[in-house]
Structure 1
Amino acid sequence: MKQRFDRRYERSWTYLMRSFQSLPPTAQMVVLLVLLVGLLIAYLLGSRPSASPDGPGPASQGGTATGDILLCLWNFENLFDDQDDARRPVDEEYDNWFARQPDVRQLKYQRLAEVLLRFGGGRGPDIIAGNEVESRRAAELLRDELNRRLPPEAPPYEHIAMLELRDAGRHIAPCLISRFPLRQAQLLGRRQRILEVIATANGHDLVVINSHWTSQLSDKGDDPQRGRGAYASTIAQRCRHWFQQQPRIDLLLCGDFNTTPDDPLLEQQLGVLPYPPPQTDADTPRLVGLLRGKAPDAFGTHFFTGRLADGRHFSGPLIYDQIVVSTGLLDTLAWSCLPETLQVPADGLIRPGSRGRRPWRFGSPGDDPFGRGYSDHLPVLLTLRVQPPP
């Protein structure tokens, strides 16, 4: 069979060559030109990168980014897993509730995934910085729910950074869920909810410090050794470490700070400047608060009713969930951020009939089961950009 095929192939090739040689020289040139153009078109079509209907997006293979990268910061409000861990009394209510009522637990994860996948053209954020997460198991359950709901063309979430904090008042901690590799995850400070992670895309590193500071209900924040003051001091010390290593380092601070961007604590202890920052030497590293000066009516992330740290009674939206970046993220080298893309979406996340910018919380076991929303905080979105591999 193979010999017959080879003989037929040889006869066909001989016939084609004789036909080609019988053509006039001008016709031979036209045939060769058509063949070269066809080969060129085939090469260009084969090497062209595919694009989704929403434009270029990230690819998770090898941490390679082919477009802008969407970051989402969100306090999930008591995200507990499916296991009864016999937590302290302050957490036992949610620990038992989520472990013993799978319908409630599933509703919580469905609601969070539903909102997250509204962003990024239906693919969801590429890096999710979450707070109030009970365990790594809880982060994995949310990742799995997201991956189940992803459209076929969207890269899955493959990477989680989460370290449980057992010695703090509550058993909740920050986490990162990412399409890009995460490494060197560690907790900073002593008994503090401060997670540091390095995210990598295109061979470029981004240091992310996600934290959840203590509440104003139990802490006035005026002592640098306690409460929010201690959080600011710990993070400031870590930033100095990174700035000494690399003045133009790409560093992003985010989290639920439980205080507003104009709190003097941020400027005095962290040295946070407003955006846009004043002109400084490019090699002099500084921190810039992207939400400083923003109106709470448009950028508020949490609704507070009660007395503030300064003793004033207050009822209204506050910007508690913040993003602070190093000046290295404001250049066009390696990683950069696009401050003009910063937003705090509220569509569908405010309880119907509610007055003001009040997030539609999921609530506690004793709340109305037919009125459960999402979280008592709103998400914060920021677009990042990473340069091609060096």
Structure 2
Amino acid sequence: MPAHAPISVPAQLPAVPADLTGRDSEIAELRGQLRRDDPAGTRATGAMPTCVVTGGSGVGKSTLALRVAHDMAVHFPDGQLYADLRGSTSTPAQAADVLGRFLRALDAGGALPECLDERAERFRTVLAGRRVLVLLDDAADEPQVRPLLPGGSYNAVVVTARRRLSGLAGATHLDLGMLAEPDAVRLLARVAGEKRVADDPLGARDIVALCGLLPLAVRIVGARLAARPHWTLASMISRLADESRRLSELAVADQQVTAGIAATYRGLGSDARTALRCLSWLGLPDFPAWIIAPLLDIPLGDADAAAEGLIDAKAIDFVRVDPLGLPRYRIHELIRVYAAQQAHQHDNRDLLTHRCGGSCSPGCGSSVS
């Protein structure tokens, strides 16, 4: 590695939440993606590792990325940079502003260039030949991320985003799903209290199921139980079982599940929002893509593209391939509850019946073959 004049060594990574639970295989995979070194210490591929962690709101992307970034910090002695890109909000960060902060943190010297391209060039120059880890949290899209990428193979970048960001050339991808039930129960116990959960293991399983195994939802329920020692797990189950109030129950202090789901919903196009409301109203455990065609009154051949758009937005998930060889999908439990509320508030029941009549009776709860 060539010698360079000393620069500041930033250590910007926020703390890792203390209740991170499970994710052992995902942690190992992300570490492996960042450790693409040969014995001589140069990148075996000659390219900088860029790792994108994707998943829906509240699934724990940021927590996982922070955990691995802290673990790997020793391999990046020239610093660790962090930026919240606010991609899931209505005011995403501007790449030029982020680069300005990074350059000041690196004490790059000289006046900051005014334009984005010149700041990106300065950033790449300052990091050339150095070992710096960059964590870009909650990215909106590829154009926001590209100017923030160093150019040298000694650096590494971790990006978290709700969408896959397939347009980032050479990036590796880690899709984060829901917790396994045992890990979700362990998370609930860590936050609410081990004894409380041990005294009612079946109740704990019911709670994490009502949370859809979503880490944020489980953590919120645990925090509410910890703050109310006189509440039983059964009383919390009763609160969550009422779908009309479930999402309002999943909030504590400044943490709430609804905000993330609402942002996902707002990010959909009009037709996609309509499809999601109708699918939630049908109440199917899973469904094939073709069912979207009558819901939106579109050609059958366009239904697959509509389903893929909902998958990209993390509004639905792929479940399995059925005996006919067709992919089947599912709406996450909490997104289903939110979309059903939106349907109740904004859609005429007769219109819903008309849209869904060609697919299945409302609330039928059985698979469409």
The alignment's TM-score, normalised by the length of structure 1, stands at 0.22
More helix by share: 2
* Greater strand fraction, Structure 1 or Structure 2: 1
Higher-Rg structure is 1
Give the TM-score of the pair, scaled to structure 2: 0.23
